[in-house]
Copies of this chain bind each other. A is one copy, B any other.
Amino acid sequence: MHDGHHSGGMMLIRRLGNYARLTPEDEAALQQMLALPIRLAHARRDIIAEGAVPRAVFLIVSGWACQFKTLEDGRRQIVGFLLPGDSCDLNNLVLRRMDHSIGALTDVRYMEIPGGAIQRLTRDHPRIGKALWWQMLVHLSVQREWTTNLGQRNAMERLGSLLCELALRLRDVGLSNGECYDLPLTQTDLADATGLTSVHINRTLQQLRASGLISLSGRVLRIPNFAALQEASLFAPDYLHRAQLEARQSHGMAGAGAADHAER
């Protein structure tokens, strides 16, 4: 449940390796690039703000961060979560300004990978370039699913889908055993991510608890029956494009998630 031996860097390499078959040289190059100082952001502080001109890519080593956008009048939408091993979009390198902010939800340890390093890497190691493309396209797919989540699902389905997504993503980086995980979000955070109010999130959580789909006390979320929550939320995990992960480390929930959906 802690990050311990998950060095963040290792997690990145493992993940990229799932997107494209990396050679030992590729991995060594990544390894070398990741000899970077670890930076710290305190909970509830912004790592980078909308409109800023970034010069690096952020790689989360431990803790949770979120991407969010703010309307003029203060309304705030969380458009994605960054979990350990996640990196922010290459957005930073290519576009001139941030179109969203990144904020720390918990204390966050992260690395700043300078743009030049990434450009060199993709130039000299085409497989790494391909893996980055893959990752980017998965981000895009996830963002489309969030759009659908907000546009079509009701409160219970929205919240349930979000909790399912987090379960699978945390599992892929070893931060969930498949049944429960540490959820460091406040109900206000959940509200901002689902487009609901914190009051309604509270009531919806109670509803999910009452129907036995989740239990949540303190910061530990438990999903006793993943398939049940998935069905109640109309959650279809295909959009995470994690098929190849499942093939390799196939046990329990993760496989079931997609198997349920292979039938059509």
A interface residues (Cβ-Cβ under 8 A, vs B): 51, 67, 69, 71-73, 75-77, 79-80, 89-91, 94-97, 99-100, 123, 126, 130, 133-134, 136-141, 143-148, 150-153, 194-195, 234, 236, 238-239, 241, 243, 264
Check if A94 sits within 8 Å of B137, measured CB to CB: yes
Q: How many copies does the complex hold?
A: 2
Contact partners of A91 in chain B: CB under 8 A: 137, 140-141
- If A77-B151, A89-B137, A140-B140 are given as contacts, then 12 extra A-B residue pairs at C-beta distance below 8 Å, sorted by A number, are A71-B152, A77-B147, A79-B147, A79-B148, A90-B133, A94-B137, A95-B141, A95-B241, A99-B145, A100-B144, A143-B147, A146-B147
Listed from nearest, the 9 A-B pairs whose CB atoms lie closest are A151-B195, A150-B150, A143-B143, A77-B148, A77-B151, A75-B152, A79-B144, A69-B148, A99-B141
CA distance A51 to B141 in the complex (A): 13
Check if A236 sits within 8 Å of B72, measured CB to CB: yes
Question: Distance (Å) between the CB of A67 and the closest chain B CB?
Answer: 7
Check if A238 sits within 8 Å of B99, measured CB to CB: yes
Could you list 29 examples of A-B contacts with CB < 8 Å? A51-B238, A71-B148, A72-B234, A75-B153, A77-B152, A79-B148, A89-B137, A89-B140, A90-B137, A91-B141, A94-B133, A95-B134, A95-B137, A95-B141, A96-B243, A99-B141, A99-B144, A99-B238, A99-B241, A123-B126, A136-B136, A136-B137, A139-B140, A140-B143, A143-B144, A150-B151, A150-B195, A151-B195, A152-B195
Check if A97 sits within 8 Å of B194, measured CB to CB: no
CA distance A151 to B236 in the complex (A): 20
CA distance A89 to B91 in the complex (A): 16
Contact partners of A133 in chain B: CB under 8 A: 90, 94
Check if A151 sits within 8 Å of B241, measured CB to CB: no
CA distance A64 to B96 in the complex (A): 29
Complex: chain B residue closest to A195, CB-CB: B151
Contact partners of A100 in chain B: CB under 8 A: 141, 144
Question: Distance (Å) between the CB of A47 and the closest chain B CB?
Answer: 16
CA distance A145 to B137 in the complex (A): 17
Contact partners of A137 in chain B: CB under 8 A: 89-91, 94-95, 136
Complex: chain B residue closest to A146, CB-CB: B147
Question: Distance (Å) between the CB of A150 and the closest chain B CB?
Answer: 4
Check if A71 sits within 8 Å of B150, measured CB to CB: no
Complex: chain B residue closest to A194, CB-CB: B151
Most buried by B among A67, A97, A145: A145
